[in-house]
A and B are shown apart, each in its own frame.
Chain A
Amino acid sequence: MATTGTAETTRRDFLYIATGAMGAVGAAALVWPFVSQLQPDASVLALSSTEVDLSLIEEGQIVTVKWRGKPVFVWNRTAEDVTKAKDVPVASLIDPVARNANLAADAPATDANRAAEGDGREKWLVVVGICTHLGCVPIGHAGEFDGWFCPCHGSEYDSAGRVRRGPAPENLAVPPYQFVSDTKISIG
């Protein structure tokens, strides 16, 4: 008798557990579309490339273009800017990593790894114009390091867009981009 009773209890419990579990799975699955809809939609993802004509940017000039709704700085650096950036030892930087989407994630933050790749292209610096602290847009040709100065909380960047002072933890990000011709880049 006792055995029968236990078996019956087990069967009933199993039914309850199976029903409850199935309900829980269903509810969890139902949540997914409501969460999934938050991600960038297909039309936003498609708008991922912006072309910039470099021939219009004079030496020393920083041009701001919009890419994915964010400012991207394209800087035609002078020889002096480049030399200054090259002279900084990587070990002394706040963030020694290049933060260049076109390179490996652990590439060191040398000027060569920050600037455009290729002969005669090292004068071009392309960075996302968003302070890595809390997202403000830094001011160009400002600050003690001749790069950018962020007006929000005083972070300063050098002429390779690397953070040198202030609360910002990382160098300005280099977006994925490539040269489609000698005078044109495509960001994204």
Chain B
Amino acid sequence: MSNTMSFRSIALGSLAAVLMLAGPAVAQEHGAPKPPREEWSFAGPFGHFDRAQLQRGFQVFKEVCSSCHSAHLFAFRNLAQEGGPGFTEAQAKAVAEQYQIEDGPNDAGDMFERPGRLSDHWPSPFPNEQAARASNGGAYPPDFSTLAKARTYEVGFPGFLIDIVTQYQEQGPDYIHALLNGYHDEPPEGFTLPEGAHYNEFFPGHAIKMPKPLSDGQVTYSDGTPETVDQYSRDVISFMMWLSEPHLEARKRLGFQVMIFLIIFGGLLYFTKKKVWRNVEH
């Protein structure tokens, strides 16, 4: 009996060990509240992107964000790629042709500009980080390529353990959503805002160099979706998430198939094992 007991306690202890140690360690920045958890179509085991939302998000990115933020890993061909915004190749080509891409050198040794092709990457608004900083009051607008996965906040105990079970992976989107909707016109009393900064409830330290980027009615949607900051931010964050994790849908789909396979295979192995051991007490 004592043996059985200790197996069980080892089981629990080790599970606890694994789970406790597994926690991502991220500092809770001083003074910034936890972003509320939002609903995302791409969350959960069957999560997938909403094509129309990705297209709207791309529109917001194109018309607003991309004037300061680069996305150097984003190629025009991605727009027509499976699991993405669902543009046709012709549409993606048309988007590419709206942009001038530097190419060269030509036979005379000069660089030249030509209309974009599918294989080209999204042109950066600034030639380098220094130029970007110089135009943005010393702050560098981060690249969008992996940004949705590069932001997080501390969940704390025991939430981080529950997140394993609920498959919560949307810290980045939640944080960015809170940030985009967290601007205050005036800082609270007693808070001195540095020159050129803006007050944001969710930004670590609250003083953010990026001015409030979105306002109601700024981008005109053709499909009748509400033109509000909240909606814009949801759309552009979905787009950012897709940009950070373009194969998210394929991953979750394959995951489901693998899980089903492993559970059935595990069941068969269990019965096989029982059968093999049926005459051996152990």
Contact = CB atoms under 8 A, between A and B. Distances in A.
Interface of A: 12, 15-16, 18-19, 22-23, 26, 29, 42-43, 46-49, 56
Interface of B: 75, 77, 81, 107, 117-119, 261-262, 264-265, 268-269, 271-272, 275
Nearest to B262: A26
Contacts of B77: 42, 46
Contacts of B262: 26
B265 A26 contact: yes
Contacts of A47: 119
A29 B257 CA distance: 11
B119 A46 contact: yes
Given A22-B264, A26-B265, A12 B118 contact: no
A180 B261 CA distance: 51
A22 B119 contact: no
Per DSSP, chain B at the interface is helix
A182 to B, nearest CB: 19
Given A15-B272, A16-B272, A22 B265 contact: yes
Q: Top 10 closest A-B pairs, CB basis?
A: A46-B119, A19-B268, A19-B272, A22-B265, A46-B77, A47-B119, A15-B272, A46-B118, A18-B268, A22-B268
A42 B247 CA distance: 13
B118 A42 contact: no
B65 to A, nearest CB: 24
A16 B275 CA distance: 9
A15 B267 CA distance: 11
B265 A23 contact: yes
A26 B269 CA distance: 13
B72 to A, nearest CB: 13
A174 to B, nearest CB: 23
Contacts of A22: 261, 264-265, 268
Given A15-B271, A15-B275, A18-B268, A49 B75 contact: no
Nearest to A44: B119
A49 B262 CA distance: 44
B119 A19 contact: no
Contact of B119 (A16, A18, A43): A43
Residue among B81, B107, B272 with max Cβ neighbours from chain A (10 Å): B272
Contacts of B271: 15
Given A15-B271, A19-B269, A46-B119, A56 B107 contact: yes
B119 to A, nearest CB: 4
Contacts of A15: 268, 271-272, 275
Nearest to B117: A49
A12 B268 contact: no
A11 to B, nearest CB: 9
A47 B118 CA distance: 8
Nearest to B268: A19
Contacts of A48: 119
A26 B265 CA distance: 9
A43 B74 CA distance: 11
A43 B81 CA distance: 12
Contacts of B118: 46
Nearest to A25: B261
A26 B262 CA distance: 9
A73 to B, nearest CB: 16
Nearest to A18: B268
Nearest to A48: B119
Contacts of B272: 15-16, 19
A12 B119 CA distance: 57
A36 B214 CA distance: 43
B275 A12 contact: yes
Nearest to A12: B275
Contacts of A29: 261
5 contacts: A19-B269, A22-B265, A23-B265, A48-B119, A49-B117
Contacts of B119: 43, 46-48
Nearest to B261: A26
A82 to B, nearest CB: 26
B29 to A, nearest CB: 37
